[in-house]
Structure 1
């Protein structure tokens, strides 16, 4: 990580830098190029695994920066293709197994699904779905029962030290670390002049609030986030365009402001 860093960007992926349906990031290419030219850093922060994020980080041109994986449950160091160990994931699965059947049966995690089912649920091709199943820190899945049952499910897991976070698609179980926790660690090491965070889902709100500027990227496929603290004062903004097109416009506008 370079010294005198002018800007460090933390970004969610699905529905933010990546199109919700196609996972395409190409509409954001001009902003990504502009970030490089400005000397900024980019940290991908997602519920995705290290196996999923490593090639994407390389493709967007920021493999020299760490990434936040599995909703903040782990980090992927710069230049590394994958991280080792899955003890945290095994702990989460053990907590699930210890639940009463009426609670456990309402949750279907990636470990319960075949590669084909993960592909169907996510829209990913089979090789990418296999990478999504390569969990090391957390367990995403779907709750199929009533909302009251989900609340009981989450409360029961908390007694085992496992927390649940809602993202754009899935309920993700982990040992409690968040994207914002990892963001603070990385920012403390990099010491940038400015930080910005972009996201679209409930599991992004802490990261948005922790940045100097938070940007909520429009996602027509999901319920919009409610008004956030600091939004009225301009600490958090919203895009009009969705997904990577909105991401692109927001970053280009920010760079224009910083250069002014």
Structure 2
């Protein structure tokens, strides 16, 4: 098992550990959306000079207050499933030029797609089950456009083909078709690793769309989520590079990160 040394504040600070974490079902509880069971470990990471970068399908407007509450304002966040990055210290109300360009490109495509930008917050709340306030934040997009397809499957495939010809990426989820100029959470992770140059990286997630991040990190953690299909066995599990938690959500997050920090930390001799 690879080891590395880092020292807490007041001692020599060695190379940082950089942690990339999904939110819903991983650091946030699936039912309550609480992250409090992981608060102590987040504080431990901060004191050790380690960074935590949130990576989610949420918008910058949704993530910014969460990031602040968690004490992670000094670190960027990966937003809209990797379509963009929220800069350190930013409040989530940044430039929407890329989104306006995306909307203009979508307007030139065949009809049948109704994006969040075509809906009211009340519409989004009705389609997602979000509260009115949460729907308003989900509508505040900067990099991607989720929406509903109203035509048949054949026409949807034509629409997606035209979108790709126009330079757009299209991802069909369980309910929404999402268009963007491309980028994944793992792509943004690679760019941020190049920026911060940590000695070691950890990625935590609970869903198949997190697998790419887990595979690219030095250590990957599959957080249990009984409410989701889960992640099949991955290469690296037998060697211990990828682990699975017993507990779900932030309890599992805290369990895994505590164990990893205990493995990776050595005490400096007096």
Number of the residue aligned with 2:140: 134
Number of the residue aligned with 2:130: 124
Q: Does 1:34 align with 2:40?
A: no
Task: Report the Cα distance in structure 1 between the residues aligned to 2:126 and 2:230, rounded to whole angstroms.
Answer: 24
Task: Report the Cα distance in structure 1 between the residues aligned to 2:157 and 2:224, rounded to whole angstroms.
Answer: 27
Q: 1:36 to 1:123 in 2, by over 3 A?
A: farther
Task: Report the Cα distance in structure 1 between the residues aligned to 2:42 and 2:176, rounded to whole angstroms.
Answer: 27
Q: Does 1:244 align with 2:223?
A: no
Task: Report the Cα distance in structure 1 between the residues aligned to 2:81 and 2:104, rounded to whole angstroms.
Answer: 19
**Cα drift, residue 17 of structure 1:** 1.0
Deviation readout 1:135-160 (Å, 9 max, x if unpaired):
01111245677777765554442222
Consecutive unaligned residues in structure 1, runs of 5 or more: none
Task: Report the Cα distance in structure 2 between the residues aligned to 1:39 and 1:168, rounded to whole angstroms.
Answer: 38
Task: Report the Cα distance in structure 1 between the residues aligned to 2:84 and 2:17, rounded to whole angstroms.
Answer: 23
- SS of residue in 2 equivalent to 1:33: helix
Q: Does 1:22 align with 2:28?
A: no
Q: Does 1:227 align with 2:227?
A: no
RMSD: 2.6
Task: Report the Cα distance in structure 1 between the residues aligned to 2:32 and 2:178, rounded to whole angstroms.
Answer: 22
- SS of residue in 2 equivalent to 1:240: strand
Would the aligned equivalents of 2:110 and 2:159 in 1 still touch at CA under 8 Å?
A: no
Number of the residue aligned with 1:218: 224
**Cα drift, residue 55 of structure 1:** 0.9
Of stretches 213-222 and 53-62 in structure 1, the one that deviates more from structure 2 is 213-222
Q: 1:4 to 1:173 in 2, by over 3 A?
A: farther
**Cα drift, residue 19 of structure 1:** 1.9
Q: 1:24 to 1:140 in 2, by over 3 A?
A: farther
Number of the residue aligned with 2:10: none
Of stretches 25-34 and 135-144 in structure 1, the one that deviates more from structure 2 is 135-144
Number of the residue aligned with 2:188: 182
**Cα drift, residue 171 of structure 1:** 4.4
**Cα drift, residue 238 of structure 1:** 2.1
Consecutive unaligned residues in structure 2, runs of 5 or more: 1-12
TM-score where L is the length of structure 2: 0.82
Q: 1:254 to 1:58 in 2, by over 3 A?
A: same
TM-score where L is the length of structure 1: 0.85
Task: Report the Cα distance in structure 1 between the residues aligned to 2:224 and 2:148, rounded to whole angstroms.
Answer: 23
**Cα drift, residue 41 of structure 1:** 0.7
- SS of residue in 1 equivalent to 2:40: helix
Would the aligned equivalents of 1:76 and 1:83 in 2 still touch at CA under 8 Å?
A: no
Q: Does 1:100 align with 2:110?
A: yes
Task: Report the Cα distance in structure 1 between the residues aligned to 2:210 and 2:242, rounded to whole angstroms.
Answer: 12
Deviation readout 1:78-117 (Å, 9 max, x if unpaired):
111125322332343344334434xx34xx5322332123
Q: 1:121 to 1:234 in 2, by over 3 A?
A: farther
**Cα drift, residue 255 of structure 1:** 0.9
